[in-house]
Amino acid sequence: MLRKPSTYLPLRPPAALLLFGAFVFVSPDMSRNPVYNLKEYAGMGLLLYSVLWQLQLLCNRFGNEAGTAAMLFSLSISRRRLLLAKNAALFCLLLLLDSIEGIGLKVIAGMPLSLPTYLLWLPLILLALTAVGNLVSVTQPFAIPRREQGGSEPPNTLAMAYVLVGCAAAVLLAPVSLLAAYGLPGMIAAAIYSGMLYVASLFVSAALLARHEQMLIGCLDRNE
């Protein structure tokens, strides 16, 4: 993730398609005041970019250079541990970035009192997204093309996978919302529930990964 971080920054076509669709949807409801519109578009653009950029990472966690997948899968390490290590690295990165971004947005919006709730929910949301993203990353792999050498972009149909990841995470978090109403015991139960979901996803994803390693190597390293 750290060798060439610049390759992760652009929104790929599937995510860009969702961003464009979101702006088309909200555009008719915008004000006629251009200053207000600019401020609203900038705020929504930052938020949507952040969400879609993270979905890209959560749905493709096997490197940004040709040969990375083959190198990773050649390591003498169980596939569960491999996924767990990459999940942990990505989870910590996104938790840090989202915490900073969320605190900034709450302060700007004049809602500092809601910060504890946001910071409490953030790890559970990321855990749910990671659990679903695990499955997408091993069933719908796509290479990140090297710009200097060309290469094909991921198909636009992957945008539907991003939508399904968000919807599935929302469904999985519904019980968490109900448990959270019961105070500290409820939040502890919610954390246990989220952890169990992630562990189940880890085992299923590792089994799929072990079964389809050659297919993943072919998809991810095709530009080598």
Backbone φ and ψ for 222, nearest 5 degrees, come out as -70, -20
- The pTM assigned to this predicted structure is 0.84
Task: Please give the residue range of the domain that contains residue 215.
Answer: 12-220
Give the pLDDT of residue 181.
78
Residue 168 reports pLDDT greater than 70: yes
Q: For residue 1, is it within any domain? A: no
CA nearest to 195, candidates 136, 131, 132: 131
Q: For residue 16, is it within any domain? A: yes
Q: For residue 216, is it within any domain? A: yes
Residue 74 reports pLDDT greater than 90: no
Give every CB contact of residue 135 below 8 A, 6+ residues apart in sequence: 201, 204, 205, 208
Question: How much is the mean pLDDT over the chain?
Answer: 83
Q: For residue 61, is it within any domain? A: yes
Q: For residue 206, is it within any domain? A: yes
Q: For residue 17, is it within any domain? A: yes
Q: For residue 63, is it within any domain? A: yes
Domain count, the chain: 1
Least confident among 34-43, 81-90, 153-162: 34-43
Q: For residue 5, is it within any domain? A: no
Are residues 159 and 91 in contact, defined by beta-carbon separation less than 8 angstroms? Answer: no
Q: How confident is the model at residue 6 (pLDDT cuts 50, 70, 90)?
A: confident
